[in-house]
Chains A and B, each alone.
Chain A
């Protein structure tokens, strides 16, 4: 692999940039592999990378029906944090956070992980109790977290509306300073490049059309580029998990929904951190290019169309204008949708299945991007050892029968 550095940039510039090599090859699929990853998004590519790097496997193919990073990896709002309430979730996301912190160096590819802090706003006394509880749990789990008051918020986020007269006044926030954002495309490309360098075949324009199961064991896949044999198949296809599961006669407790996001035109830097608000359903950051990147809510209905309903955008816009009245005259440049796969407890499934040698990594819902390295790391372990790592053991399919859900959802959605 050609090392990237300031020096190599300079040297190549002198050569009119003609000597840069390919970032990943474009190989023909072989007849068989030791492991196949279905899905060339961030999670799938990370899985391949860690399989090769941590588990000594290199005869691996990543099969991508379109172009790598073209699904939710390239459609999210790029927020990275690990301040989850439940220990099971927190430890998995924290593993991911630790990998993020060295990822650019590990991959020799600048994924522009920018730890500019993530604020979760509280708008009611109950919000503040929940924040207190979560921050406290985070700290005991070794995850940085703090509760901040409105005065500090006013300083850290100059245009945030902290007026007590607001409809949902800001009473405080949790802050994870190590949280932030990363460059989403670079994550896919960086993992692809590093995995490719370790021998992984990344095969684009190769859609899986069937999963071959024989005697309860996975033996290979049918693809638009022919059959490929393997007795170890990991499916990492987010919104399409259910479609792939059907190919192996499996059912998943997953529903696919549209999730939308939008960006503004680039404006001069005005927001230096990530602000999320559950109460008004909006989250916002500003990219290095100057665009305000804003996440909207999920559409209630099932959808595979990568398009949601406009009222959802209106609601998100109202929330943002409520939080940041000065953004009312900023203009929306582009909105788009992705397909998120949502599990009943809003937690992922990283699990073996009733089919031997077939593994599923799905159910990340609206929060998968931040988990990319950790998800790949744990899933690679699961595939390599045919056994979950302790970090992802709580995220098995069995939990839906036993009732041992990791209910981040329930913890947030409450009456009273």
Chain B
């Protein structure tokens, strides 16, 4: 059972939360302008990574707020919890890439 840090309530058992899928999926501003394939991408396609995953959790049996957790999908290790209104740090993997490119 995961131990999840609610940004408002602190660490709590997984059973207090519900999972809301990948974070950062933004609803298209103008759905009518999208092709069927583009709409399908928003609707059904997720990154489903093996490794770092940013996902939504809801403290359903607590403060009922949604927030973002970065969790490793292999080890379940949690890198951090973030409020929706705070800027998310650059993911470790992407940071590495930038460094390699001498950004």
Interface string of B1-44 (1 = CB under 8 A from A): 11000000000001100110110000000000000110111011
7 A-B pairs besides A255-B46, A301-B2, A311-B15 with CB distance below 8 A are: A253-B44, A254-B48, A256-B48, A301-B55, A302-B55, A302-B73, A403-B36
Q: In the complex, what distance in Å separates the CA atom of A311 from the CA atom of B3?
A: 13
List residues of chain B with CB within 8 A of the CB of A324. none
Closest to B71 in A: A301
List residues of chain A with CB within 8 A of the CB of B97. none
* Cβ-defined contact, B18 with A300, below 8 A: yes
Closest to A240 in B: B50
* Interchain nearest-CB distance for B32 vs A (Å): 15
Q: A302-B53, A302-B55 are known contacts. Are A311 and B1 too (CB-CB below 8 A)?
A: yes
Checking A302, A305, A403 against B48 with a beta-carbon cut-off of 8 angstroms, the contacting residue is: A302
Q: In the complex, what distance in Å separates the CA atom of A303 from the CA atom of B55?
A: 12
Closest to A307 in B: B76
Which residues of A does B touch, CB under 8 Å? 240, 242-243, 251-256, 300-305, 307, 309-311, 344, 400-403
Which residues of B does A touch, CB under 8 Å? 1-2, 14-15, 18-19, 21-22, 36-37, 39-41, 43-50, 53, 55, 71, 73-76
* Cβ-defined contact, B44 with A256, below 8 A: no
Q: A302-B53, A310-B1, A401-B36 are known contacts. Are A251 and B74 too (CB-CB below 8 A)?
A: no
List residues of chain B with CB within 8 A of the CB of A304. 50, 73-74
List residues of chain A with CB within 8 A of the CB of B53. 302
Residue of A255, A256, A311 most packed against chain B (CB within 10 A): A255
* Cβ-defined contact, A303 with B1, below 8 A: no
List residues of chain B with CB within 8 A of the CB of A240. 50
Q: A253-B45, A400-B44 are known contacts. Are A309 and B73 too (CB-CB below 8 A)?
A: no
Q: In the complex, what distance in Å separates the CA atom of A252 from the CA atom of B73?
A: 17
List residues of chain A with CB within 8 A of the CB of B14. 309, 311
List residues of chain A with CB within 8 A of the CB of B1. 309-311
* Cβ-defined contact, B15 with A303, below 8 A: no
Q: In the complex, what distance in Å separates the CA atom of A240 from the CA atom of B45?
A: 15
Closest to A254 in B: B48
List residues of chain B with CB within 8 A of the CB of A344. 43-44
List residues of chain B with CB within 8 A of the CB of A302. 22, 48, 53, 55, 73
Closest to A310 in B: B1
Residue of A243, A301, A307 most packed against chain B (CB within 10 A): A301
Checking B15, B21, B37, B46 against A401 with a beta-carbon cut-off of 8 angstroms, the contacting residue is: B37
* Cβ-defined contact, A305 with B73, below 8 A: yes
List residues of chain A with CB within 8 A of the CB of B73. 256, 302-305
Q: In the complex, what distance in Å separates the CA atom of A211 from the CA atom of B47?
A: 18
Query: 7 closest pairs, A vs B, by CB?
Result: A253-B44, A300-B19, A242-B48, A401-B40, A401-B36, A301-B19, A400-B40
